[in-house]
A and B are shown apart, each in its own frame.
Chain A
Amino acid sequence: MSLITEIDKHIQNGNGDSEPAKYVGKDFSSDQDVRWCPGCGDYTILKQVQSTMPKIGVDKKDIVFISGIGCAARFPYYMDTFGMHSIHGRAPAIATGLKVSRPELSVWIITGDGDSLSIGANHFVQLLRRNVNVNLLLFNNQIYGLTKGQYSPTSPEGSTFKSTPYGSIDHPFNPLSLSMGADGTFVARAMDRDPHHLQKMLQRSHEHKGTSMLEIYQNCIVFNDGAFELFTDKKTRPREAIYLEDGEPLVFGKDDEKGIRLDGLKPSIVSLAEGKYSKDDLWIHDENDKTKAYLLSRFFDQPRDETEDHFPRPFGVLFAVERPTYDDGVNAQVDEVFERKGIGDLDELLRGPETWTVE
Chain B
Amino acid sequence: MDVQNIVREHVTIRFAGDSGDGMQLTGSLFTNTTALEGNDLRTLPEFPAEIRAPAGTVPGVSSFQLHFGSKEILTPGDNCDVLVAMNSAALKANLSLLKKGGTVIVNTSGFDKKNLNLSKYGEEHNPLEDGTLSEYTVHEVDISKLTKESLYDTDLTYKEVERSKNMFVLGLLYWIYNRPLESTISFLEEKFPEKPEIAAGNIKVLKEGYHFGETAEIFSENYTIHKADIGPGEYRSITGNKATVLGLVSAARQGNLPLFFGSYPITPASDVLHELSKLKNFGVRTFQAEDEIAAVSSAIGAAFGGSLGVTSSSGPGVALKGEAIGLGVMLELPLVILNIQRAGPSTGMPTKTEQSDLMQAMYGRNGESPAAIIAPATPADCFDAAFEACRIALEHMVPVFFLSDGYLANGSEPWNFPQQKELKPIEISFEPARNGEESDPFLPYRRDDRMVRRWAIPGTKGIEHRVGGLEKEDLTGNVSYDPENHQKMTLIRQEKVDKIADYIPLQTIDSGNDEGEILVLGWGSTYGAIRTAVGELQKEGLDISHAHIKYLNPFPKNLEKILSRFDKILVPEMNSGQLVRLIRDKFMVPAVGISKVKGRPFFVDELKRKINDAISISSNTNGDS
Contacts and interface: CB of A to CB of B under 8 A. Distances in A.
A61 B469 contact: no
Interface in A332-347: 333-334, 337-338, 340-344, 346-347
A352 B430 contact: no
Contact of B298 (A97, A343, A350, A357): A97
B503 interface: no
A278 to B, nearest CB: 49
Contacts of A203: none
B32 A61 contact: no
B377 interface: no
B128 interface: no
A87 interface: yes
Contacts of B282: 3, 343-344, 346, 349
Given A5-B258, A90-B297, A96-B298, A102 B466 contact: no
Contacts of A307: none
A295 to B, nearest CB: 29
Q: DSSP majority for the B interface? A: mixed
Given A61-B464, A356-B35, A97 B246 contact: no
Given A11-B459, A15-B433, A333-B280, A355 B235 contact: yes
10 contacts: A5-B283, A10-B457, A32-B466, A64-B458, A94-B300, A101-B307, A351-B236, A354-B237, A356-B235, A359-B232
B306 A84 contact: no
B183 interface: yes
B287 A97 contact: yes
Contacts of B420: 346-347, 350
B25 interface: no
Interface in B279-301: 279-285, 287, 289-291, 293-295, 297-301
Nearest to A333: B280
Interface stretch (B61-69, B323-331, B511-519, B606-614): B323-331
A10 B323 CA distance: 31
A85 B469 contact: yes
The 3 closest A-B pairs by CB, nearest first: A97-B301, A85-B468, A97-B298
Contact of B460 (A61, A95, A104, A347): A61
B323 A337 contact: no
A144 B418 CA distance: 55
Interface stretch (A73-81, A155-163, A244-252): A73-81
A358 interface: yes
A90 B324 contact: yes
A36 interface: no
B305 interface: yes
B468 A356 contact: no
A340 B278 CA distance: 13
Contacts of A82: 458, 464-466
A101 B327 contact: no
A265 interface: no
Given A346-B250, A346-B420, A100 B466 contact: no
B301 A66 contact: yes
Most buried by B among A7, A61, A80: A7
Contacts of B459: 7, 10-11, 15-16, 61-62, 102, 104-105
A357 B35 CA distance: 10
B294 A337 contact: no
Contact of A349 (B38, B237, B249, B256): B249
Contact of B304 (A79, A98, A346, A347): A98
A50 to B, nearest CB: 13
Interface string B433-455: 10000000000000000000000
Contacts of B234: 351, 355-358
B327 A86 contact: yes
Contacts of B279: 344, 349
Contacts of A16: 433, 459-461
Interface string B171-192: 0000000000001000000000
A349 B420 CA distance: 10
A2 B432 CA distance: 24
Contacts of B281: 334, 337-338, 340-344
Contact of B183 (A84, A354, A359): A354
B260 interface: yes
A47 interface: no
Contacts of B291: 122
B467 A84 contact: yes
Nearest to B245: A349
A124 B82 CA distance: 55
Contacts of B253: 346
B262 A97 contact: yes
Nearest to B35: A356
Contacts of B460: 10-11, 15-16, 61
B587 interface: no
A333 B458 CA distance: 24
Given A11-B460, A15-B460, 10 more contacts: A32-B466, A32-B478, A64-B304, A82-B464, A83-B468, A84-B304, A85-B466, A97-B305, A354-B183, A356-B234
B432 A15 contact: yes
Contacts of B457: 7, 10
B255 interface: yes
A3 B466 CA distance: 29
Nearest to B289: A93
B258 A101 contact: yes
B302 interface: yes
A340 B262 CA distance: 24
Contact of A2 (B38, B283, B307, B461): B283
A104 B458 CA distance: 10
Contacts of B307: 7, 101-102
A83 B302 contact: no
Contact of A102 (B37, B417, B428, B458): B458
A101 to B, nearest CB: 4
A81 B464 contact: yes
B233 A358 contact: yes
B11 interface: no
A255 interface: no
Contact of A7 (B306, B418, B465, B468): B306
Given A10-B460, A14-B433, A101-B260, A87 B305 contact: no
Interface string A264-298: 00000000000000000000000000000000000
A310 interface: no
A30 interface: yes
Given A87-B327, A93-B298, A97-B302, A6 B479 contact: no
A128 B223 CA distance: 62
Contacts of A342: 281
Contact of B461 (A61, A81, A333): A61
Contacts of B417: 350-352, 355
Nearest to A343: B281
Nearest to B283: A3
A104 B459 CA distance: 9
B36 interface: yes
Interface in B91-129: none
B476 to A, nearest CB: 9
A194 B294 CA distance: 34
A130 B477 CA distance: 33
Given A7-B306, A61-B458, A97-B300, A350 B419 contact: yes
Most buried by B among A9, A92, A341, A349: A349
Contacts of A349: 246, 249, 279, 282
A126 interface: yes
Contacts of A197: none
A355 B304 CA distance: 39
Nearest to B303: A97
A101 B306 CA distance: 9
A84 to B, nearest CB: 5
Contacts of B235: 355-358
Nearest to A334: B280
A262 B285 CA distance: 47
Contacts of A237: none
